[in-house]
Amino acid sequence: MVEAMDGRSKRVLSPPAGTFQPFQVGPLHFREADGEADMRRIHQLHFRTFTRELGQYQDRGQGYHIDKFHDKNHYLICEADGVLVGMLAAHSRPPFSFASRLPDGTRVEDLSHKPLEVRLLAVDDGYRKGRVAGGLMYAIYLWAATKGFGELFISAVSEQLPLYRGIGFRELGPPVPQGDCSFTPMIMPLNEASLRRKRAVERLAKAGLPDASLDEPVSLLPGPPQISAKVLNAVGRRARYHRSRAFLDQFEEVRRRLSPLMAGRPVALLAGSGTLANDMVAAQLKARFGDADGLVLVTGEFGRRLARQAHSAGLRFHQQEWSWGGAWTAAEIEELLHLHRPEWLWAVQLETSSGVLHDCKALAELCAAHGVALALDSVSAVGAVPVPAGVTLASGVAGKCLGALAGASFVAADPDFLTALNGAAVPSSFDLARMMQTVGPCFTFPSAPVQALDRALDQFEGVHARAERQRAMSLCAQRVRQGLAELGIQSLAPESRAAPVVTTFKPPHGLGSLEFVALARKWGFRVAGASSYLQERRWVQVANMGEVDASHIESFLKNLGAWLDSHPSKPASPRLEH
């Protein structure tokens, strides 16, 4: 088997014949390509490297290039944070590209009985000083060994000859010009590879030369957020037994500190994601209201998710949708409450997908006036804006605006609502009433997320501290929107309903979501764009959750502005449909 390549492994053993295992090198993930999504990204990187940069092929304006041997190629790829940053292809069926570069009279069949041609080594230009190239060569070395190939052949760009010589390749002839560069045919016999060669390939994969692109980037994601050193230090403590007095005390203290952020409601802590917390909410609505009609409001991806969860829980409801980037009005809600007369209403307070903040204070007042139980998905809102008074149920998570680790979520509930459940049957893991009554967790609970959340809540302790923290986040988001507008890029959400922690927009110059994500990664930032709903709409997102301040925002905007200045055309981004 192949041992994990995390920088600590002392040796790597050749895998059993016929198997190849993906592996990790720091933040880089190496694996075999699989599926159409991978193929599209491969063709795009192929185009950027061999057409636009090396000039081997004519630019037809398509933004991608399909290799002439694509149908017989096997691809290995490298990803960083889900973004393709490197690729390599190999095939074993003639004709071979390197054969045209061999000296006259040299035949492939005289060189190898089972050749494997390695081609199209391409690394995004922000990663060329790091471990991507070496990791890909290591991956193909292992893959070829598992398949029983005799020799590897490659046409090496002349500037890369030292790299290939260092891992056991040798020249078969002089460089042959093509396009704007020249290529040298090279061979490495696998069946004669010495232990020295194996170690050389492994060393190259582990090299880790200094490179800013491999430094930990600043997270401008809407989760996981940028984590402060204080929070990380809290996690570094030894794991606590979930029945120990120290853990029980800390668990209850976290619940106490979360309550003011949840409209003063008592809080139950869960070991899981926001999706789990919302499933918990759905279970309570089902237990309390049974088959009574409800209403789910949808203005984006996470409203749609609520509708799916409500359906899975067996709830009966009407689903009302608005365009993404849109928001409901008080008059519309009033009309819907009169029309459907629901017993309960479920909505998202801050729709992460569009960057829209809804007026849930007005929503709560309307629901109270009509005797409707209000449930809120406050997952991206808690910490950034107040959860409105009068809410019946509300969900939140640690790993967003609170700046803690993912892995802990919570549900707040009106005590009168819990009393009204009257012992209704719910699955054990969704027994909110029992969790509220129990000191400490009802079930095994990991201590690290609780320790991190406890420390992260320091900055929200007290009315003044909460207001200052919320003000700082709002100012950061305002600066994001202002800076984008100055660069001719329009945010999806209008200023009147823009969220104070996440901004959604279309990348400039027709860039795709993943292309912009890769570009921002070169600048040292993680931005959102990999989710399918973002890719489908060619949207990206910049969030200012967690330990993000004005200096991070200014640096991101400066890099974006410099990139725009370095490109010949600078059109404003297409207007977004609301």
Residue 14: its pLDDT value, please?
37
Number of H helices, E strands in the chain: 18, 22
CB under 8 Å to 271, separation ≥6 — which residues? 407, 408, 441, 443, 444, 445, 446, 449
CATH number of 219-224+464-565, picked from 3.90.1150.10, 3.50.50.60, 3.10.105.10, 3.40.50.740: 3.90.1150.10
Q: What pLDDT, in 10s, does the model give residues 283-313?
A: 999 999 999 999 999 999 999 999 999 999 9
Domain with residues 229-461, CATH architecture: 3-Layer(aba) Sandwich (3.40)
Contact 376, 265 (CB under 8 A): no
Residue 574: its pLDDT value, please?
43
Q: What pLDDT, in 10s, does the model give residues 131-177?
A: 788 888 888 888 887 888 888 898 887 777 877 787 778 899 898 88
Average pLDDT over residues 440-455: 94
Domain with residues 23-215, CATH architecture: 3-Layer(aba) Sandwich (3.40)
What are the phi and psi torsion angles at 432 (to 5°)?
-65, -40
Average pLDDT over residues 473-490: 97
Residue 289: its pLDDT value, please?
96
Burial class (CB within 10 angstroms; exposed 0-12, middle 13-18, buried 19+) of 45:
buried
Residue 49: its pLDDT value, please?
86
Residue 8 has pLDDT above 60, yes or no: no
Contact 6, 24 (CB under 8 A): yes
Q: What is the residue extent of each domain of the chain? A: 23-215, 219-224+464-565, 229-461
Q: What pLDDT, in 10s, does the model give residues 362-396?
A: 999 999 999 999 999 999 999 999 999 999 999 99
Residue 199: its pLDDT value, please?
53
Of 331, 327, 321, give the one whose Cα is nearest residue 366. Answer: 331
Residue 179: its pLDDT value, please?
67
Contact 342, 317 (CB under 8 A): yes
Residue 497 has pLDDT above 90, yes or no: yes
Which of the pair, 379 or 36, is modelled with greater confidence? 379
Residue 416: its pLDDT value, please?
95
Three-state DSSP state, 546? strand
Average pLDDT over residues 527-549: 95
Residue 61: its pLDDT value, please?
76
